[in-house]
Amino acid sequence: MRHFLTLRDFSKDEILEIISLAVKIKKEAKSGEFKPYLKDKVLGMIFEKSSTRTRVSFEVGIHQLGGKGLFLSTDDIQLGRGEPLKDTARVLSRMVDMVMIRTFGQERLEEFAKYSTVPLISGLSDTYHPMQLLADYMTICEHGKNKDLIVAYVGDGNNIANSWLMLASKIGFELRISTPKGYEPNQDVLKNAYEFAKKSGAKILMCQKPQEAVKNADVVTTDTWVSMGQESEKKRRVKDFEGFMVDDTIMALAQKDAMFLHCLPAYRGYEVSDEVFEAHEKEIFDEAENRLHAQKAVMVWLDKQRKN
Ligand code: CP
Ligand code: NVA
């Protein structure tokens, strides 16, 4: 049985296999064909943080696959009143077929997985957001940008930046990251990425200035400067991130037809200007839609691993 907690645990071939499956499932759905790959299966969805895309895409996704999703907010279940995670894992394992959790520390996912007898999927933690990156890479492939790919990530070295490091180092493309001092990605993740890059041929570059990172990039991407759980740091962060907004002058340094991606929600006037956002709204919302298709593929893939 496999879990989906970070792309660190997946090979390049497995990532590409899941993306191919997502493309196939998307094509079927677009032609009105919703195959019941997970007929009568139930997905438990525990949310310890807010969500729009992750919640809707998992709930719609499992429904379209012939199963059912259970939305379990920690405000409503006993976990929120102190029932141990390991007990929650063992109870849910007896009743549902798969679990998705959006939480704080990555170690919470690992603890749940240790006690779970059904596959567990990360819907984001403080360290990673692997589902997002599958959708992002799927979108890059659909837009025909995956050959000799250069991605520039400008902004906070957060869960999204860490996940880009995992994706790039597994797939083998060039990733340039530019963050303000003190906001670099997780050092362990970076170390892992450099290690994986040796095998895949990925180029991982840390750039002092956003302008350096975006030069001739095929894809420019960013994320909020204030992630969930960091709300009290907003004032300081906004000051520290001065000069890191992706605006027209930054985009002008990238390839002429460069894509701009954002996992959303986006905060215009902070990490991205309204002009850049609206000029690239087609690919941004393709990216958002692909969460649905990529997640359906992950659920089908994990279910297949259980049977093998
Ligand atoms: N990108 C993303 O995960 O969005 P939500 O927080 O709305 O789920
Ligand atoms: N870095 C953001 C991503 C939201 C999808 C957060 O963790 O809040």
Q: DSSP states of 59-115 as a string?
A: HHHHHHTT-EEEEEETTTSGGGGT--HHHHHHHHHHH-SEEEEE-S-HHHHHHHHHH
Phi-psi region for residue 168, left (φ > 0), alpha (ψ -120 to 50) or beta?
Answer: alpha
- CA pseudo-torsion sign 34, 35, 37, 40: positive
For residues 181 and 187, give the distance between their C-alpha atoms in angstroms, rounded to a whole number.
13
- List pLDDT tens digits, range 66-84: 999 999 999 999 999 999 9
Mean pLDDT, residues 197-219 taken together: 98
Q: Whose atoms come closest to the Cα of 289: which ligand?
A: 1
- Residue-level pLDDT at 49: 97
145-193 pLDDT, tens digit each: 999 999 999 999 999 999 999 999 999 999 999 999 999 999 999 999 9
Selection from 118, 150, 124, 162 nearest residue 1 by Cα: 118
CB of residue 52 inside a 6 A radius of ligand 1 = yes
Return the structure tokens found at 277: 């956002």
Model confidence at 231: pLDDT above 90 = yes
State pLDDT tens for residues 26-61: 999 999 999 999 999 999 999 999 999 999 999 999
By alpha-carbon position, which residue is closest to atom 4 of ligand 1?
53
Judge whether 72 and 78 are in contact, CB under 8 Å. no
Tokens standing for residue 264:
């959303």
Average pLDDT (227-233) is 98
Distance of CA 243 to the CA centre of its chain: 25
Q: What is the per-residue pLDDT for 307?
A: 83
For residue 246 the two structure tokens come to 């992706």
pLDDT in tens, 210-219: 999 999 999 9
Which residues, at least 6 apart from 201, have a Cβ–Cβ distance to it below 8 Å?
172
What's the sign of the alpha-carbon dihedral 169, 170, 172, 176?
negative
**CA–CA dist 246, 127 (Å, integer):** 23
pLDDT tens digit string along 82-102? 999 999 999 999 999 999 999
Percent of the chain with pLDDT over 70: 100
Average pLDDT over every residue of 16-35: 98
Residue 265 is classified by DSSP as -
Phi, psi of 18 (to 5 degrees): -65, -40
Residue whose CA lies nearest to ligand 1 atom number 6? 51
Mean pLDDT, the chain, rounded, equals 98
Which residue from 59, 124, 158 has its CB within 8 A of the most atoms of ligand 1, so it is best to mutate? 124
Domains, the chain, in order of start with CATH, read 7-129+291-307 (3.40.50.1370), 130-287 (3.40.50.1370)
Which amino acid does the sequence have at 38? L
Where do we find the tokens 């390991």?
Answer: 86
pLDDT, position 118: 98
Q: Which two tokens stand for residue 157?
A: 């070295």
Helices (H) and strands (E) in the chain, counts: 12, 9
Of 106, 72, 71, 54, the C-alpha closest to 298 is: 54
Instruction: Say what the pTM is.
Output: 0.98
Indicate if the pLDDT at residue 10 is higher than 90. Answer: yes
Q: pLDDT at position 51, please?
A: 98
Q: Which ligand is nearest to the CA of 288?
A: 1
d(CA 157, CA 10): 22
Q: How far does residue 232's CA lie from ligand 1's centre (Å)?
A: 20
Spatial distance between the Cα atoms of 61 and 74, rounded to a whole number of angstroms: 22
pLDDT for residue 308:
79
Is residue 159 within 8 Å of 127, Cβ to Cβ?
A: yes
Answer whether 124's CB lies under 8 Å from 54's CB.
yes
Distance 58 CA to ligand 1 centre (A): 11
pLDDT band at 270 (very low <50, low <70, confident <90, very high): very high
